[in-house]
């Protein structure tokens, strides 16, 4: 109690003398050992180089330092054991203020406020080791503000709020498990940097930076990094406006990660290594780019929506329930999705581009409950899907397959595969200009369908095994179509409208059916049944060609085949 009374006397003395006239180079040092400590220090009014230190060792500690209207002020509170609190307020023109609170053990709470014209380079640090922790730092109107909270274990919660503090830097680190939470907000603070790290237990996260370049000149690159390692992670980064960047890394357990960045030079990077992953990234507009990696035997889902300008997106998911969605609107889209084993699904949509002419999409899914759709509307489209392994087939894996590629307009190309097993279906539908497509499947209920409208198109459709179907429809001039079906009771259908088209149909089994229909002049049709086995038979070939100067060639092997050719109607 001796020390507590002394502290109160010092506090009162400083307060009253400061009211009378300004003074410089004040130093207060309060040491309290044991029982019901309390200490209050106030330094104020037009003074420089003030220091205040409070050291409390055990039991019911509370301590506060208030420094107002002073330059180069320093405040330090150290608390060991029992019901700690700890408050530092540095208000109103405290130039280059520094505030530090250390608490070790029991019911900690701590608060630092640096507020109103704090000048450049205000610094605030809270370190809490063990037990009830909560910590809050507010820095208001202090450029170059630097705030850090470290919490090692137990009830953690932490909050940093920087307002009107350009080039501010905020860090929260929570280690050794237990209740973590944590929140950083930097508002109207140009070129803000935020780093949040949580290791173990019931993590949460949150970084929100709402920055605007109020300085008008120079870059305003907001950077946010959120790392959560093990246990019930969540995580969120939201940066609104200007030259954002964001990173989320979560290593294990119940992860979810959300990044929203609105407009300008976004970048985002999410990585989650294992367990119940989710990840959502929405970047609405401008120079986009997103990468998401999620790994290993997890509940994966990843969603990216980027609107407008220089989009890009990569999703990589390795293993188990995978799902993936990428939607990117106009300009230079690229999307690349790579998923492996088990519940796969992918949807990619990229729209009507221009500028650098945009679209491209590549999807690979390495087998099991596959499904993939790519939809690209406009300009230099290319799309490719591949759903294989059992170490890229002859003919194993891919399963419950479906592939759908739909491209509407400009320099389209297609390609799909799938290989082996289950309900296969491939549809490629391309509407207009320089189309080119190929499809395959090979297994169970194969179907392969290609439809192209436009000129100089090429298509190649292939399916395999009994009861398969390969179908090509083309409308235009100088088209080339090949359709191939393997094994017994297979169907090949080719329909072409226009001139100077070529169609080739092959089947390789018994009881197969080839139908080729060409409407227009100067078309060629070739049909061959039971190509590899003279013993097969019972195949049917129908070729219908209207108008003039058409050519048809039919070859059938085996017995009981039928061929019908009709030309000119």
Q: What is the pLDDT, as a whole number, of residue 569?
A: 67
For 381-444, strand residue ranges (E) read 383-386, 403-408, 426-431, 436-438
Compute how many other C-beta atoms are within 10 angstroms of the C-beta atom of residue 217.
Answer: 6
Query: Given a cut of 90, is residue 533 above it in pLDDT?
Result: no
**Residue % of the chain over a pLDDT of 70:** 86
User: What is the pLDDT averaged over residues 471-497?
Assistant: 85
pLDDT band at 217 (very low <50, low <70, confident <90, very high): very low
Q: What is the pLDDT, as a whole number, of residue 16?
A: 32
Query: Given a cut of 70, is residue 20 above it in pLDDT?
Result: no
What is the distance between the alpha carbons of residues 476 and 391, in angstroms, rounded to a whole number?
39
Q: Is residue 253 helix, strand or coil? A: coil
Please give the helix or strand (H or E) that residue 458 lies within, else none: strand 458-463
Q: What is the pLDDT, as a whole number, of residue 227?
A: 92
What does pLDDT average to over the chain? 83
Q: What is the pLDDT, as a whole number, of residue 158?
A: 93
pLDDT band at 189 (very low <50, low <70, confident <90, very high): low
pLDDT band at 286 (very low <50, low <70, confident <90, very high): confident
For 188-289, strand residue ranges (E) read 193-199, 207-210, 223-229, 236-240, 245-251, 258-262, 268-273, 280-284
CB neighbour list of residue 154: distance below 8 Å, 6 or more residues apart: 130, 131, 132, 133, 178, 179
pLDDT band at 11 (very low <50, low <70, confident <90, very high): very low
- 420 or 566, higher pLDDT: 566
**pLDDT tens per residue, range 323-368:** 899 998 889 998 988 888 888 989 999 888 888 988 999 889 887 8
Query: Given a cut of 90, is residue 192 above it in pLDDT?
Result: no
Among 47-51, 173-177, 193-197, name the one with the lowest average pLDDT.
47-51
What is the distance between the alpha carbons of residues 330 and 286, in angstroms, rounded to a whole number?
10
pLDDT band at 394 (very low <50, low <70, confident <90, very high): low
Query: Given a cut of 80, is residue 309 above it in pLDDT?
Result: yes
């Amino acid at each position: 109690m001796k020390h507590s009374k002394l502290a109160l006397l010092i506090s009162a003395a400083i307060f009253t003398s400061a009211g009378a006239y300004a003074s410089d180079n004040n130093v207060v040092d309060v040491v309290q050992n044991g029982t019901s400590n309390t200490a209050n220090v106030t330094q104020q009014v037009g003074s420089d180089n003030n220091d205040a230190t409070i050291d409390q060792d055990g039991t019911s500690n509370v301590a506060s330092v208030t420094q107002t209207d002073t330059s180069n002020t320093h405040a330090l509170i150290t608390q060991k054991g029992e019901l700690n609190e700890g408050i530092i307020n540095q208000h109103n023109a405290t130039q280059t203020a520094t505030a530090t609170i250390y608490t070790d053990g029991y019911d900690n709470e701590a608060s630092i406020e640096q507020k109103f014209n704090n000048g450049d380079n205000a610094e605030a640090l809270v370190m809490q080791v063990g037990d009830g922790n909560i910590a809050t730092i507010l820095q208001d109107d202090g450029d170059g503000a630097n705030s850090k909270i470290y919490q090692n274990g137990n009830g953690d919660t932490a909050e940093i709020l920087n307002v009107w503090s350009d080039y501010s830097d905020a860090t929260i680190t929570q280690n050794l498990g237990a209740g973590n939470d944590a929140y950083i907000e930097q508002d109207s603070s140009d070129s803000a940097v935020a780093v949040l790290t949580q290791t173990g237990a019931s993590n949460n996260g949150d970084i929100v930076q709402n920055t605007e370049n109020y300085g008008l000149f120079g870059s305003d690159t907001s950077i946010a990094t959120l790392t959560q390692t093990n246990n019930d992670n969540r995580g969120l980064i939201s940066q609104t406006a200007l030259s954002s960047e964001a990173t989320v890394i979560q290593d294990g357990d119940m992860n979810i990660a959300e990044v929203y960045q609105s407009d300008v030079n976004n970048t985002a990077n999410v990585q989650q290594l294992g367990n119940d992953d989710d990840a959502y990234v929405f970047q609405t507009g401008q120079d986009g780019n997103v990468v998401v990696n999620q790994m290993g035997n997890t509940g994966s889902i990843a969603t990216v929506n980027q609107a407008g300008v220089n989009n890009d997106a990569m999703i990589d998911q390795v293993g188990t329930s995978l799902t993936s969605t990428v939607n990117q609107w106009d300009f230079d889209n690229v999307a690349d999705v790579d998923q492996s084993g088990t519940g796969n699904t992918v949807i990619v949509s990229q729209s009507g581009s221009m500028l650098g002419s945009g679209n491209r999409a590549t999807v690979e899914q390495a087998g099991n409950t596959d499904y993939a759709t790519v939809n690209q509307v406009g300009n230099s489209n290319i799309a490719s899907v591949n759903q294989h392994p059992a170490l890229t087939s002859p003919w194993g894996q891919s399963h419950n397959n479906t592939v759908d590629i739909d491209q509407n307009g400009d320099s389209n190309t297609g390609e799909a595969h799938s290989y082996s097993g289950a309900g296969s279906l491939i549809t490629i539908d391309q509407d207009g200009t320089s189309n080119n497509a190929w499809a395959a499947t090979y297994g169970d209920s194969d179907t392969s369908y290609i439809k192209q409208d436009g000129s100089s198109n090429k298509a190649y459709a292939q399916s395999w095994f009994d009861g398969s179907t390969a179908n090509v429809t083309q409308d235009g001039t100088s088209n080339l179509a090949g359709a191939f079906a393997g094994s017994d009771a297979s169907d090949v259908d080719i329909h072409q409208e226009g001139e100077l088209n070529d169609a080739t149909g092959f089947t390789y089994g018994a009881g197969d059916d080839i139908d080729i229909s060409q409407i227009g002049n100067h078309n060629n049709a070739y049909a061959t049944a039971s190509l590899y086995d003279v013993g097969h038979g019972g195949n049917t070939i129908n070729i219908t060609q209207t108008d003039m100067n058409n050519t048809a060639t039919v070859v059938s092997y085996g017995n009981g085949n039928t061929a019908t050719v009709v030309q000119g109607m």
